[in-house]
Amino acid sequence: MAVLPIVILGDPVLHSPAARVGSATDEIRSLVADMYETMDAAPGVGLAAPQVGVPLRIFVYSYEDDEGAPWRGVVIDPELWITPPEPGRPDPNEESEGCLSFPGERFPLRRADRALVTGTDLEGAPVRLEVGGWRARILQHEFDHLDGILYVDRIGDADAKTAAKLVRKRGWGVPGQSWMPGVDDLDA
């Protein structure tokens, strides 16, 4: 397994819909193993294939609940259903999220409290995840990556202006930029 470079906001692969996978091959299994290693090294709670420069509909996730119970897996060719988000502004203390492709920052974002994701695993077996709270947020965030949407594309106007300033300041608005988890210092 290998840690892969994570592409930054300006890369075109992050802004285009990813292609369906179909059945998992040895190459896909190797990619998924590398994605787990990269997600863990970052550290992150999810990672979509486009974030490592691969335009395929795959994401991995890993999260421990408040009791320390692990929740970890892969979804290939996922479909997503959500409940409508509650109207109103997001609570910055309870609803802020970050992204490995926009490293070092967090912005408030209202998401649906419930989500259902279906797809397949590496063996072709059906996957069905029906979750709430942070787990629902993780699934929505990773699914967005597969459609070419970053969480900063969804944040409110004032935060979007701040994010745009950070992109200009850090020079992230160009293709080909990436960072290596465990190697690069992201305290920009």
- Nearest one of 25, 52, 23 to 38, comparing CA atoms: 52
Give the containing element (helix H, strand E) for 153: none
153 C-beta neighbours (distance < 10 Å), count: 14
- Residue pair 143/57 in contact by the 8 Å Cβ criterion: no
Extract the tokens encoding 167: 């992109």
- Nearest one of 1, 18, 97 to 53, comparing CA atoms: 18
* Annotated catalytic residue 142: yes
* Catalytic residue (choose from 37, 97, 105, 142): 142
CA distance 67 to 73: 19
SS3 39: helix
Region at 104 (left for phi over 0; alpha for psi -120 to 50; beta for the rest) = left
| Residues designated catalytic | 142
